[in-house]
Amino acid sequence: MKTSEAKYYRVQFGPPGSRGFAGEGWSAVAIILITCVILYLLGVARTELGIRLALVPRLFWHGYLWQPITYQFLHAGFLHLALNSLVLWSFGPELEHRWGRAKFLRFFLISGAGGGIASALGYMGSQFPVVGMSGSIFGLLAAYALLDPNRIVLLFFFPVRIRDLVIWSLGIGIFAELFTSGRGIAHWAHVGGAVTGYLYMKKDDLFRRSRNWYYRKKLERRRRADGVIENEAPAEPAEPVEHETH
């Protein structure tokens, strides 16, 4: 792709015409960020309540089924919160403007829940809490990669296509989980969030393909059954043989 044809993404504080935190109600991005900041300032992640709200794999498999939702709003430290907030504030408003507040919030929570479940599976039996909205953010990035795969974003001042950024980030994350200690980063949450976001974006197409496959197989079975019936049809009776009498 020629440089002149590339589209560069610039950080914007809300979509064109939006009123940000005021107007006809706060945006989903604003609600998410304010919730995360309040919980961080209250220090919830470091309390007993925080353990119940974070994603703790051992607890999740023992009935704490709400954790894939609640862990998204907790953060381990200021830098963790700041980086996640920056990415959400950079990419979220445009998708929310395109989808609307309700659909955006639903997509955000579902992607994050997918990341949480992936963490519960990947760290089976672990008692260490997983926190943060990175899984949700990777779901948003996966959506961008589907909607506009050739969009150029600046990564440390270097231009890169959003699709390549997502693929490389997930590849590095999987490698880190399989062959290194992971350095305290829940890469499975990133992978799970991206995969969940991708499947959610493709759900209508996947449903249509599955339905077509089902009816095609059903028709094939019916045709085979009809063929068996035709092959097993009784033969016509032989003509009677006349015998001469003496």
Which domain, by its residues, includes 183? 21-203
Domain membership of residue 2 (yes or no) is: no
**Structural domain count of the chain:** 1
Domain membership of residue 192 (yes or no) is: yes
Domain membership of residue 96 (yes or no) is: yes
Task: Return the residue matching tokens 């940000």.
Answer: 20
Q: Quick: pLDDT tens for 2-52.
A: 333 334 333 333 443 444 444 467 899 999 999 999 999 999 999 999 999
Domain membership of residue 42 (yes or no) is: yes
Q: Quick: pLDDT tens for 79-128.
A: 999 999 999 998 899 999 999 999 999 999 999 999 999 999 999 889 99
Q: What is the CATH number of the domain that holds 121?
A: 1.20.1540.10
